[in-house]
Structure 1
Amino acid sequence: MPKVLEVCVDSFESAVTALGAGAGRLELCSSLIEGGLTPTPGLLIQIQHANSAKVPIYCMLRCRPGNFIYSQEEIEIMVEDAKILKQRGADGFVFGALLPNGDVDMKKCREIIKACFPLSVTFHRAFDFCRRPTIEVEVVIDLGFTRLLTSGQQKNAQQGVKLIKKLIDQVGNRIIIIPAGGITKDNLKFIIDNTEATEYHGSFKVEKKEEEEGENKESEIVLGLKNGPRYVTDHELVAEALQILRSE
């Protein structure tokens, strides 16, 4: 079975790069620097115009940074976002919600899945904060999620291969477990060899060097992370990762 590479992007530039390099699916977000938030409909529409190969685009549903314990009002925000993005042609969604004790919040997940229906929904790396991963993966399956992103509850997927492999063996073909978190061309083969997963997830980004704006280079005015780095998907890194997957 051919292995799938899902590339996580948060800009038009990164999306076009990932598509051009041959990504099998996009996870579309905004603000990856904050772990990924809900993208705008305008961004989705513009990427669709460039998506001549009709590569599936899954949209993140996450209305704020921080933890994954959501109020009812926040769930209602994401329900409305899902409805709008579905109308604009999203192919699937990526979402996760937890209870304060570290269990999956079944009630709130059901609300989101209902809003996304009939599209596929991936449970994102909120799973890496679950206190009982081998039990909660069964809850995720029962709720109707079709995929699960995880680093194996470690800093990155390379360090988490033991749990990832355990989950893959446990679930069989009932859900697709996708290694995610810190995947690079340098550790991808190790992760493949030690998990035997069929799908993999990464951003494959590099820092983009940009010119300062205008003549006011020494200004003390800062808007958000204006003076911080901006990262974009790198064509060569995606292409190299795909070559590794194809050679396995």
Structure 2
Amino acid sequence: MTETERPRLPLIEICVEGIDGLLAAQAAGADRVELCASLIEGGITPSFGTVRTALELATIPFHVIVRPRGGDFLYSEAEYRSMLADVRALAELGVAGVVVGCLAADGTIDEQRMSELAQAAASLNVTCHRAFDMTRDPTEALEALIRCKVGRVLTSGQRDTALEGVDLLADLVRQAGDRIIILGCGGLAPENIAEVRRKTGLGEMHFAALKDVPSAMRYRNPKVGMGGTDLDREYRNTVTDEAMVAATIAAART
């Protein structure tokens, strides 16, 4: 399916980590995937081996996050150059879109960098991720993204959940009109996704349906961790819950 073939609304995008997440999301009926690594950090750029394999296996469009690290969205010049290089490489590979976000220190959209990233993306879809939710003035930030020729913005209405941010989400949908797409997110689940859509008029919605599963490793070394203090993390995997994806999509379209 191409992005010009419109599924029945709302269009559902699933945020996934790696190939297995992409396969689970598309099997559950997702319309599109945001492909990431390290969702524990909010998502960073996946490897190009992952992207190439996704291009071989995907039957739905996927957008690739271009984020060189976790933390804030105020990048050094070297980090920004790496983002430009990633966007250009992804355009050459032929993915459907990229997901980016750069802020200035004062909490505004970095228009120069966002414009340059959008230009580097060429014909790809360009989404601004939840860096938008860290801006000081969402109304002005949306206009800045429109000026940068960004096609879509991912937002929870500058709150932890879409239910909490529902008023701003509705305002952003009205402000956007047909100039930019508002992709709503934030704790969406079967019990609330229809309510959020009804109150906001969102045409596109985004969530990550994740669950922890135990590692299949039989041998375990309890004395070594690969980072942090949660030693059990080495033997616990976080995966996309196919059944939860399907249930949330069904709830969104009731």
Tell me if structure 2 keeps the 8 A contact 1:26–1:57.
yes
> Superposed, which structure 2 residues align to 1:178-189 within 5 Å?
178-189=183-194
The amino acid that maps onto 1:62 is R
In structure 2, the partner of 1:135 is: 140
Q: For the residues of structure 2 that align with 1:20 and 1:91, how far apart are their CA atoms? A: 19
1:222 aligned residue (204, 209, 225): 225
SS state at 1:99 partner: coil
Q: For the residues of structure 1 that align with 2:206 and 2:214, how far apart are their CA atoms? A: 25
1:171 shift after superposition? 1.5
Tell me if structure 1 keeps the 8 A contact 2:129–2:155.
yes
1:14 shift after superposition? 1.0
SS state at 1:227 partner: helix
Tell me if structure 2 keeps the 8 A contact 1:41–1:84.
no
> Superposed, which structure 2 residues align to 1:58-73 within 5 Å?
58-73=63-78
SS state at 2:34 partner: strand
Q: TM-score, normalised by structure 1?
A: 0.93
Tell me if structure 2 keeps the 8 A contact 1:17–1:234.
yes
1:211 shift after superposition? 3.2
Deviation per residue, 1:115-157 (Å, 9 max, x gap)? 1112110011000011011111111111101111001111111
In structure 2, the partner of 1:84 is: 89
Q: What value does the CA root-mean-square deviation take over the aligned residues?
A: 1.4
Q: Do residues 237 (structure 1) and 240 (structure 2) align?
A: no
Q: For the residues of structure 1 that align with 2:88 and 2:139, how far apart are their CA atoms? A: 31
SS state at 2:15 partner: strand
Any stretches of 5+ residues in structure 2 without a counterpart?
1-7
Deviation per residue, 1:199-221 (Å, 9 max, x gap)? 0001111112223452xx34411
> Superposed, which structure 2 residues align to 1:89-104 within 5 Å?
89-104=94-109
1:21 aligned residue (22, 28, 33): 28
1:246 shift after superposition? 2.6
Q: For the residues of structure 1 that align with 2:227 and 2:19, how far apart are their CA atoms? A: 20
Tell me if structure 2 keeps the 8 A contact 1:37–1:65.
yes
> Superposed, which structure 2 residues align to 1:75-224 within 5 Å?
75-214=80-219, 217-224=220-227
Any stretches of 5+ residues in structure 1 without a counterpart?
none
SS state at 2:178 partner: coil
Deviation per residue, 1:9-35 (Å, 9 max, x gap)? 112111110011111001011101100
In structure 2, the partner of 1:8 is: 15
SS state at 1:183 partner: coil
Moved over 6 A (4+): none
Q: For the residues of structure 2 that align with 1:182 and 1:44, how far apart are their CA atoms? A: 26
The amino acid that maps onto 2:40 is I
SS state at 2:232 partner: coil
Q: For the residues of structure 2 that align with 1:220 and 1:190, how far apart are their CA atoms? A: 47
Q: For the residues of structure 1 that align with 2:44 and 2:227, how far apart are their CA atoms? A: 16
In structure 1, the partner of 2:4 is: none
Q: Do residues 43 (structure 1) and 47 (structure 2) align?
A: no
Tell me if structure 1 keeps the 8 A contact 2:194–2:253.
no
